[in-house]
Amino acid sequence: MPNPPNKIQIEHSAVLSNIIRECIEQNDGWISFEQFMGLALYAPGLGYYSAGSKKIGADGDFITAPLLGKQFAGCLARQCNEIIKNLAADQLTTITEFGAGTGQFALDFLIHLDSLSRLPDQYLIIETSADLKQRQQQLIETSGREYLDIIKWVDAIPETGINGVIIANELLDSLPVMRFQIDDSGQAKELGVSIIDDRFDWKVSTHSIPEVLQQRLSQYSLPPGYQSEIGTHAEGWVRSIGEKLRSGVMILVDYGFPQAEFYHWDRVQGTLMCHYQHIAHDNPFYFPGIQDITSHVDFSAIAAAGHDADLQVMGYCGQGGFLLSLGLLENVETIQIGATQNNTAANPHSISRSHTLAQEIKKLTLPNQMGELFKVIALAKNYPAPLSGFTMQNRKGRL
Ligand SMILES: C[S@@+](CC[C@H](N)C(=O)[O-])C[C@H]1O[C@@H](n2cnc3c(N)ncnc32)[C@H](O)[C@@H]1O
């Protein structure tokens, strides 16, 4: 069971809740869920990502692939090694990571690329959370000083655009979503937040959602009462960032499905999920500011948004298939052979390391862990070569 929030957390949440409450009152008693989620996660100094809680890691609320070990970053580095090699040699190569979390991915990724003698000209980190940005800088200063001259923390991709790779792991799921509910006539009405009995609660708007989104949903004949999400911010993000890519590949990793699976009749409550101390639940109104709120990603909509920005889908598959295609097991086999050769009572360290690695590989690839629910999509512009990450599996036809 999670520990209940402490006094400081409760006070923090109360301050943020008052701000949200004022917004609701100033807006005739109703705000969109999109706005609520934006404030709960990103209100300056108070939102879950903007404030100082631990968030990511064993002692936070959830764990991400780069924190399981070095294999995820290593595989991505091997994919980027191939991309950088294929880009025009006379252009500056830039890797841009959005939402770098603790900074662990950037560190392990650059160490791996360095070992392949393929460091990019620059590694840009774009991070909205001042708290996480500070943690990233501390980690790089203590454990990756040699990369400080190529890493830059910036607010946006330069207007002139970049050549290289854009990477985002678990960024899209953390962007605010529009929520809707299907009414008795089959129309999707926007779900928002009101104050009912002095508490935040769901309230359906009398207005339908925009026609273009209504048409999107009408393909799936959803039943009355069905609730779900539309990743409007994630789609907008892909469009605007995709336009800044002159040549190269955008690699996005997150949990989600193609649209037909996303709006499946079985998912009558949608995909909204909250994380607090490693417990997942579906109440976004629980102590705003101290818990994460996420939604799964509609990868068909992401592919379509990429198309609007002249990006072409190069590949889409489960995270397991992607990492295995990039030599995950070969790497582990080498390490395990090493451990077996040293497998004596005098060397328990290598046995334990081998066990930890096996656990990491299982978490990253098994279908009932991150291997299938997590997907990788690669969107490219002016980049003609195939990507090795999709050698074993490419399901872009399902999008
Ligand atoms: C779920 S965490 C994932 C962190 C990290 N990529 C990992 O795998 O551990 C989401 C990250 O995205 C950041 N973020 C959210 N919206 C962003 C945006 N629009 N631009 C850049 N970073 C953003 C958050 O502050 C956080 O660092």
The per-residue pLDDT string of the chain (399 residues; one tens digit each, 9 = 90 and over) reads 677 888 998 999 999 999 999 999 999 999 999 999 999 999 999 999 998 778 898 888 889 999 999 999 999 999 999 999 999 788 899 999 999 999 999 999 999 999 999 999 999 999 999 999 999 999 999 999 999 999 999 999 999 999 999 999 999 999 999 999 999 999 999 999 999 999 999 999 988 899 999 999 999 999 999 999 999 999 999 999 999 999 999 999 999 999 999 999 999 999 999 999 999 999 999 999 999 999 999 999 999 999 999 999 999 999 999 999 999 998 766 655 555 555 555 565 677 788 889 999 999 999 999 999 999 999 999 998 999 999 999 999 999
Q: Specify the pTM.
A: 0.95
**Domain spanning 7-61+175-234+260-298 has what CATH number?**
3.40.50.12710
Copy the structure tokens of residue 37: 């989620």
**H/E element holding 16?**
helix 7-26
Residue type, 22: E
C-alpha 99 to ligand 1 mean position (Å): 3
d(CA 150, CA 5): 40
**H/E element holding 31?**
strand 31-32
Q: What residues line ligand 1, using a CB cutoff of 6 Å?
A: 49, 56, 64, 66, 98-101, 105, 126-129, 132, 169-171, 174-175
Q: How many CA atoms lie within 13 A of 294 on its CB side?
A: 22
What is the number of helices (H) and of strands (E) in the chain? 12, 16
SS3 of residue 103 by DSSP: coil
Copy the structure tokens of residue 191: 């779900």
Best mutation site among 37, 54, 98 for ligand 1 pocket (most ligand atoms within 8 Å of CB): 98
Best mutation site among 55, 128, 139 for ligand 1 pocket (most ligand atoms within 8 Å of CB): 128
Residue minimizing CA distance to atom 4 of ligand 1: 101
